[in-house]
Structure 1
């Protein structure tokens, strides 16, 4: 895998984690996720890039 793609995936992962972590528990619940779901969801999102 090229370095640029790896960098974009890492940036996407960090952004997703940062944005979801900024939500409170109620907002996460409204989305149907828990705090424990954040990192796996971020990994899934980054893998799509």
Structure 2
């Protein structure tokens, strides 16, 4: 997870800003891959398997969001 913070009085150069942008983009793509993989794996389970886990099909999206983004 990449975070960019600007210190007061310190200006980031163009190359620093581009690097931060690319790191943030890579992080976002990684999180989206986790989201899609979680949705794919949970959708592959039968209703019985999901029930054994205490999961309803309507919960799959919110579980995937929490797994990928922590929300």
Shared fold (TM-score, shorter chain, > 0.5) = yes
Alpha-carbon distance in 2 for matches of 1:9, 1:40: 14
**In the alignment, what sits opposite 2:60?**
38
1:25 maps to which of 37, 44, 47: 47
Which structure has more relative contact order (CA 8 Å, sep 6+)? It is 1
**In the alignment, what sits opposite 2:26?**
4
Output the TM-score relative to the length of structure 2: 0.65
- For structure 1, the 5+ residue unaligned runs are none
Moved segments of 4+, more than 6 Å: none
- For structure 2, the 5+ residue unaligned runs are 4-23
Report the number of matched residues: 48
Q: Which has the higher helix share?
A: 1
Per the TM alignment, residue 12 of structure 1 is displaced from its structure 2 partner at its CA by 0.2
For the aligned residue pairs, the C-alpha RMSD in angstroms reads 1.1
